[in-house]
Each structure stands twice: as C-alpha cells, then as structure tokens.
C-alpha cells in the first residue's frame, strides 16, 4: 500500500530532515507554517533565516534558504545588521521567549522602537527548553519549572511577559504585531505570512509570537500538553492580530 | 573605488577624526556604534561624512548590538566596522567571539580608557589582554597597536584589507590620548599609493539560485560533538599560525649593541624612542623594540633581537600593570635575559620616567 506522505514545503532543506525537535514540540509545526509561508510568497531565494541559541538553534539548517545562527538573544541585532546592509534581502529571525524577552529584550525593544524592517518569530513555550526547563519570562503563575519548583510566584518573580502587547505599544503605524498558536495551524500560517509580507512591503517591524508546546520539560502527556496550551496559555496570552497595516479581509 | 581624498593632503586632526576619514577612504560601507568615551568622535565625524558618500550608520541600543549588527552586515557582504572602549569593549567580546568562530572580517577600533570598571574616560593601555584574548576561545584575531595618527590612518586601511583577506576579526588598538589629541598626518586614497583594496563578499545572500546552481549557506558557531569543535579549532589554529608570519609587524632600533632593550607598544613607544635617543647621547646603550601587532606577536623577531644584541636586560614599559609584560613573557619563554618593568597603569609615560628607570637598573 502506498504511504500518504504530508506535503513538505519546498523551502525545507531535506537533508536535515527528520528534524531534531522532541516529540510533541511545537517548533516543527511553526517551522512548517513558516516554510509554507515562504513558499506562498515565493521568497526562498532572497530569504535570510537567522536563529538564536536555545531550542530554536536546532533550526539552523532547517531551510533551503541562506541561514545564520547567532548567540542567545542576539538574533535580532544580527538580522538588523543584515537588513541594514542589504535591504533587498528578506530577514527572518527565529527565537524563543528567553532569547527575545529576557537576554535579548533590549534588542527586541529597541529594534521595535526603530521600526526595523525585519520579521521576528518568537516561540513561547513558557520555559527555557534547551537548558532543561527553567523559569522563563513567560512562565505562567503557579507553573512549576526547574527554577520555580514550588510554582512561579508573581510576588517575587513578576507576571508573565505579554510580548506582542508591549511591542504594539512601542511601534509606530506600519508595524505588524500578532500572536498565533500551534493549535490553530491555518491562522498561524496566515499571521506568519502577513508578518513577512509586511517586511516585503517595507511597512515596518513585524513580529509574531507563537504559543507552543514543550511536553519534555512540562512533563506532560499528549492530552495534558494540548490542554495546557489551549486552556492555560491561550487564556493568558490572547491569540490574534494586535496591529496590522495590511487591512482587513486578508484570509 | 571611489576617490575620497584626491591628491594626498596634509591634515591636522584628532585620532578619532582620522579613524572616520580612514574608514571612508578604505571603502567602509557602514558603521554600527554606541556612545562611550573616548571613541565618541569616531561616530561624530562618521555621521557627518557618511551621508555625503552614501555610507551607512546605525546607533544601536548597546555595544552587544553594535557588535552583532556589525557581524550581520559583514555576513551580508559589506565592509562594516565599529568602535568602542572600556566597558563597551567588554560587552563587545561576545560578538567578537562570534566573529572569531565564524571567521567574520569585522574591523573594530578600540580607544583604551582607564579600568577596571568605568575607570577613567581618559587613557590607559589596560585593554591589551581584553583585546587580544578577550573571547571565550583562543584569541584568533589580529590586533594592531598604533602610535601616531599616521599609523591610525594607515592601519585602519590595512585592517580592513587584512580582515577581508584572511577573515579574522581585526582590531586597531588606540587609546584616549591618540583619540583626542591633534597631530599632523597625510591622508591619501589607498589605491593611489599602490595599496590593493580587498573587496568584501557575502557569506549569505550570495549569487545563484538555491537548488539549481548552489546549495543553501548554513552558517553556524555551535557544534553537537566535542570532536566536531576540536576539528574546527585545530584547523583554524593551524591557519592562524600559518598566516602569522605574513601579518606580524614590529619596530626595532638601536638594538644591535644594546645592553638594555626597552619594550613598549602604542603611544608609550614614542616616549621609549625619545628615551633611547637621550640615553644613547649619555653613553648608555639602550635599544628600542615595539610590537606593532600584539596578536600575532612578533615572537621570533624579539628573540632574534635579544640574541643578536646580547642584551642583559629588558625593560617593559606600559600604562598598565603588566598586560604587555605577560604577553611578552609567554611569547619569549625560555630566554634568560633579565626582565624589569615600568608599570604605570592608567597614566601616561614620558621619556623621563623611562630614563629614570633605566638608570636604576644599569
């Protein structure tokens, strides 16, 4: 019997497949949506993909696009440097919530303020995955991690960062800011595509946070993983476009 | 390449202004910078000049960003540079480490200030260790220590060329005195002097269609296995060692019959040069040795000078507490010559200081 294989995005780099993310991780879904968005926009040749340290690092050779891997939190300035040097290139930075909201937050904040014409995709899985599941800026109140073993206490560690909301406040008109989730694939792909289109049109800074799953460090089974994503995370982090210059009716 | 200067012309300007003109003449495309004294005027002059010559500038949010944006622009194939000092130099060691790992031809101008911490905004030679070996690796970088504004001009142009030819991050190490004082120099368009300008080229966003005429470029600086990293490091180390003889530069004067050789670098070497002339006039056989490249260090050249002179003493003079001394000692391990020092961390050294010290030794 013939196997029915799911379609692989043209912009994926096949020698690096199957990918190295853990079973149940949301990175694969996010990167599939990104691959399809690159294909739909026909920008494989001019795309520069950059990734951070952390789990996002495992995407360093994911695409058949020219790619560069940077340091923890430093993907944003590297992408900015590339875009400033070669504005004709489409720069897509890929990072986690630790890289974007903590160690690299000054870069995210200031590149948003400067309305840099880059697209950044930030995967929020509420913890530092690669380093073994420590508390992240996005860890939910009460959530147990390796560095909040009794549950995150907002009294001593603050409340989770709502990134797209603060970036929307910092950016001028022309910026694109959205939050997607790996539980709603078509929307995820559409928001990522919009964030790239916004760069292509030269409108401004383009940012998508993607709510994602980390069953390895959450220590959850499939059911618990999906429930945490859809019930806990999506409640605290509302999904949808927060700011878009692209107009309504874009489906 | 675009002519900037035209006929060679005399100028009288600060070292920071000299840096900006030299970058322009060298064909630099873009600067990324963040304010810190004493390098600020590099940015002040560059921002005035750059738009007139269609060159770029971005003031970043900090030195981490200035370093990493420079790395990005270089990967994209542009001649990019930055300038910093002191705590900014500390922050930039992270992107400089990436430049070492990925062989990115980043050019950085360092104008040393007092340290540690905020130190002073004035002057020192205390960023030698940091600039030569400040990364979390093996110091695969090229460091020129300049002494005059003419050298700042010459070595900025050369620095871009060396960086792009050999693909190691390259530094022009100045200091607050050189940054802020004015002195005469000659500015020129390098090609008029027969200097070949090495053209930059992209590492990503390269010509050709992926999947048709070429493979995608996947640049990385992290490896899964110890052995993978080991292989890369041994290869880079071998390349660095192989090119070192072509890169090493030094000055030696009055050493042939010297009883004592004064070793200094950067602006202090000007005091050493004066001191040696005065000592010679007084009948004291002093010699002068100055490494121009601190990385790679003119190791064999110094050993040869020691051997040929038969000098019994070395005097290492620096505006730091032993940074040049440690660098020198590790390079000439095994020599039996006596080593004395004149350490004046964070303050200037004049000929009198050196003469007094020499007379206390011999």
Q: CA A166 to CA A130: how far, in whole Å?
A: 26
Q: Do A44 and B210 touch (CB under 8 A)?
A: yes
* Contact assessment for residue A204 and residue A176, using Cβ atoms and an 8 Å cutoff: yes
93-122 of B, contacting A, C-beta below 8 A = 94-95, 98, 102
CB-nearest partner of A68 from B62, B64, B75: B75
* Contact assessment for residue A56 and residue A99, using Cβ atoms and an 8 Å cutoff: yes
Q: How far is B65 from chain A (nearest CA, A)?
A: 5
| ipTM beyond cut 0.85 | yes
Q: How far is A45 from chain B (nearest CA, A)?
A: 6
Q: Where are the domains of chain A?
A: 17-243
pLDDT score at A1 = 62
Q: How far is B22 from chain A (nearest CA, A)?
A: 20
Q: Which of B74, B108, B216 to mutate to test the interface with A (most CBs of A within 10 A)?
A: B216
pLDDT score at A247 = 79
CB-nearest partner of A70 from B98, B206, B216: B98
Q: Which of A30, A17, A23, A74 lies closest to A180, judged by CA? A: A30
Q: Is the pLDDT of residue B100 over 70?
A: yes
Q: CA A121 to CA B28: how far, in whole Å?
A: 31
Q: Do B222 and A69 touch (CB under 8 A)?
A: yes
CB-nearest partner of B72 from A64, A65, A82: A82
Q: Do A45 and B209 touch (CB under 8 A)?
A: yes
Three-state DSSP at A209 gives strand
Q: Do A85 and B77 touch (CB under 8 A)?
A: yes
Q: Do A67 and B222 touch (CB under 8 A)?
A: no
Q: Which of B291, B244, B240 lies closest to B265, judged by CA? A: B291
Q: Do A45 and B210 touch (CB under 8 A)?
A: yes
Q: How far is B17 from chain A (nearest CA, A)?
A: 23
* Contact assessment for residue A138 and residue A213, using Cβ atoms and an 8 Å cutoff: no
Using alpha carbons, list the distances in angstroms from residue B157 to A163, A192, B78, B142, B201.
43, 43, 15, 14, 17
Q: Is B312 exposed, middle or buried (0-12, 13-18, 19+ CB in 10 A)?
A: middle
**Chain position carrying tokens 């007084």:** B282
Q: Do A71 and B62 touch (CB under 8 A)?
A: no
Q: Is the pLDDT of residue B318 over 60?
A: yes
Q: Is the pLDDT of residue A197 over 90?
A: yes
Which of A226-231's residues contact partners 24+ apart within 8 Å by CB, and which partners? A226/A183, A229/A26, A229/A181, A229/A182, A229/A183, A230/A181, A230/A183
pLDDT score at A248 = 63
pLDDT score at A4 = 77
What are the residues of chain A with a beta carbon less than 8 Å away from any beta carbon of chain B?
13, 44-46, 48, 50, 53, 57, 60-61, 63-71, 74, 77-86, 89, 106-107, 109-110
- Six token digits for residue B266: 């950067």
Local confidence band at A6 (pLDDT 50, 70, 90 cut-offs) = confident
The answer to whether the peptide bond before residue B20 is cis (omega within 30 degrees of 0) is no
Q: Is B171 exposed, middle or buried (0-12, 13-18, 19+ CB in 10 A)?
A: buried
Average pLDDT over all residues of chain B: 98
Q: What percent of chain B has pLDDT over 70?
A: 100
CB-nearest partner of B73 from A57, A71, A84: A84
What are the φ and ψ backbone dihedral angles of B314, each rounded to 5 degrees? -115, 140
Q: CA B111 to CA A4: how far, in whole Å?
A: 63
**Chain position carrying tokens 């590099």:** B42
Q: CA B350 to CA B344: how far, in whole Å?
A: 11
Q: What percent of chain A has pLDDT over 70?
A: 98
* Contact assessment for residue B142 and residue B166, using Cβ atoms and an 8 Å cutoff: yes
Q: CA B296 to CA B318: how far, in whole Å?
A: 19
Interface contact B13, partner A, CB < 8 A: no
Which chain A residues have a beta carbon less than 8 Å from that of B56? 84-85
Interface contact B58, partner A, CB < 8 A: yes
Local confidence band at A93 (pLDDT 50, 70, 90 cut-offs) = very high
Q: Which sign does the torsion angle of CA A198, A200, A206, A208 carry?
A: positive
> Does A145 or A3 have the greater pLDDT score?
A145
* Contact assessment for residue B77 and residue B25, using Cβ atoms and an 8 Å cutoff: no
Q: How far is A145 from chain B (nearest CA, A)?
A: 25
Q: Is the pLDDT of residue A250 over 70?
A: no
Q: How far is A87 from chain B (nearest CA, A)?
A: 10
pLDDT score at A80 = 98
Q: Do B204 and A68 touch (CB under 8 A)?
A: yes
Q: Do A70 and B78 touch (CB under 8 A)?
A: no
Q: Which of B332, B280, B276 lies closest to B307, judged by CA? A: B332
Local confidence band at A5 (pLDDT 50, 70, 90 cut-offs) = confident
Interface contact B141, partner A, CB < 8 A: no
DSSP labels for B102-171?
Answer: HT---EEEEEE---STT--SS--STTHHHHHH-SSS----EEEE--SHHHHHHHHHHHHHHHHHH---EE
- Six token digits for residue A212: 């994602």
Q: What percent of chain A has pLDDT over 90?
A: 95
For each of the domains in chain B, give its residue range(s) and CATH number, in order of start: 9-193 (3.40.50.970), 251-361 (3.40.50.920)
CB-nearest partner of A67 from B76, B94, B217: B217
What's the mean pLDDT in A188-199? 98
Q: Is the pLDDT of residue A251 over 50?
A: no
Q: CA B47 to CA B257: how far, in whole Å?
A: 50
Interface contact B75, partner A, CB < 8 A: yes
pLDDT score at A249 = 47
Q: Do A82 and B211 touch (CB under 8 A)?
A: no
Q: How far is A248 from chain B (nearest CA, A)?
A: 33
Q: Which of B86, B139, B76 lies closest to B110, judged by CA? A: B86
Q: How far is A190 from chain B (nearest CA, A)?
A: 25
Which chain A residues have a beta carbon less than 8 Å from that of B104? none
Average pLDDT over all residues of chain A: 96
The answer to whether the peptide bond before residue B38 is cis (omega within 30 degrees of 0) is yes
Candidates 3.40.50.970, 3.50.50.60, 1.10.10.10, 3.20.20.70; CATH matching A17-243: 3.40.50.970
Q: CA A182 to CA A189: how far, in whole Å?
A: 9
Nearest-by-CA chain B residue for A79 = B72
pLDDT score at B1 = 84
Q: How far is B159 from chain A (nearest CA, A)?
A: 20
- Six token digits for residue A17: 């497949």
* Contact assessment for residue B96 and residue B66, using Cβ atoms and an 8 Å cutoff: no
């Amino acid at each position: 019997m013939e196997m029915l294989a799911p379609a692989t995005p043209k912009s994926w780099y096949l020698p690096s497949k199957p990918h190295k993310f853990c079973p149940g991780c949301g990175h694969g879904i996010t990167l599939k949506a990104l691959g399809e968005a690159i294909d739909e926009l026909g920008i494989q040749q001019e795309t520069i993909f950059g990734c951070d340290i952390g789990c996002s690092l495992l995407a360093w050779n994911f695409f058949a696009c020219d790619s560069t891997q940077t340091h923890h939190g430093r993907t944003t300035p590297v992408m900015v440097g590339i875009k400033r040097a070669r504005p004709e290139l489409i720069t897509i930075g890929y990072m986690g919530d630790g890289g974007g909201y903590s160690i690299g937050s000054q870069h995210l904040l200031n590149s948003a303020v400067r309305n840099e014409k880059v697209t950044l995709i930030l995967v929020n899985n509420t913890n530092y995955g690669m380093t073994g599941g420590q508390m992240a800026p996005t860890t939910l109140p009460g959530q147990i991690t390796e560095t909040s073993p009794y549950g995150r206490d907002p009294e001593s560690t603050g409340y989770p960062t709502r990134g797209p909301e603060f970036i929307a406040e910092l950016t001028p008109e022309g910026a694109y800011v959205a939050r997607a989730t790996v539980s709603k694939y078509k929307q995820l792909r559409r928001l990522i595509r919009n964030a790239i289109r916004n760069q292509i049109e030269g409108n401004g800074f383009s940012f998508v946070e993607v709510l994602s799953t980390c069953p390895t460090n959450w220590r959850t089974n499939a059911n618990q993983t999906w429930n945490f994503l859809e019930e806990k995370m999506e409640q605290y982090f509302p999904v949808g476009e927060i700011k878009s210059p692209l107009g309504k009716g874009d489906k | 390449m675009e002519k900037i200067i035209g006929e060679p012309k005399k100028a009288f300007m600060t070292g920071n202004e000299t840096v900006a003109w030299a970058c322009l003449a060298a064909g630099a495309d873009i600067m990324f910078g963040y304010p810190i004294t004493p390098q600020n005027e590099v940015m002040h002059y560059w921002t005035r000049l750059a738009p007139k010559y269609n060159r770029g500038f971005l003031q970043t949010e900090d030195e981490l960003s200035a370093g990493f944006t420079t790395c990005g622009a270089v990967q994209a194939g542009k001649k990019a540079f930055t300038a910093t000092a002191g705590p900014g130099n500390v922050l930039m060691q992270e992107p400089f480490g990436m430049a070492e790992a990925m062989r990115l031809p980043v050019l950085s101008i360092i104008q040393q200030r007092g340290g540690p911490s905020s130190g002073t905004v004035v002057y020192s030679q205390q960023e030698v260790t940091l600039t030569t070996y400040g990364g979390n690796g093996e110091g695969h970088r090229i460091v020129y220590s300049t002494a005059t504004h003419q050298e700042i001009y010459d070595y900025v142009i050369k620095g871009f060329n060396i960086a792009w030819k050999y693909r190691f991050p390259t530094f022009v190490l100045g200091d607050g005195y050189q940054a802020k004082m004015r002195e005469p120099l000659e500015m020129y368009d390098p090609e008029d002097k027969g200097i070949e300008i090495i053209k930059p080229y992209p590492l990503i966003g390269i010509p050709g269609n992926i999947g048709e005429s070429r493979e995608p470029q996947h640049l990385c600086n992290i490896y899964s296995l110890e052995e993978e990293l080991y292989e890369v490091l041994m290869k880079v180390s071998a390349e660095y060692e192989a090119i070192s003889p072509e890169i090493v530069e030094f000055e030696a004067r009055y050493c042939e019959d010297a009883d004592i050789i004064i070793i200094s670098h950067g602006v202090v070497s000007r005091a050493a040069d004066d001191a040696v002339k005065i000592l010679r006039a007084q009948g004291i056989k002093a010699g002068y040795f100055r490494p121009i490249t601190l990385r790679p260090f003119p190791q064999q050249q110094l050993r040869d000078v020691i051997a040929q002179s038969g000098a019994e003493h070395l005097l290492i003079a620096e505006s730091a507490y032993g940074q040049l001394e440690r660098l020198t000692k590790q390079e000439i391990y095994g020599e039996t010559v006596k080593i004395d020092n004149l350490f004046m961390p964070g303050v200037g050294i004049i000929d009198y200081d050196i003469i007094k010290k020499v007379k206390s030794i011999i």
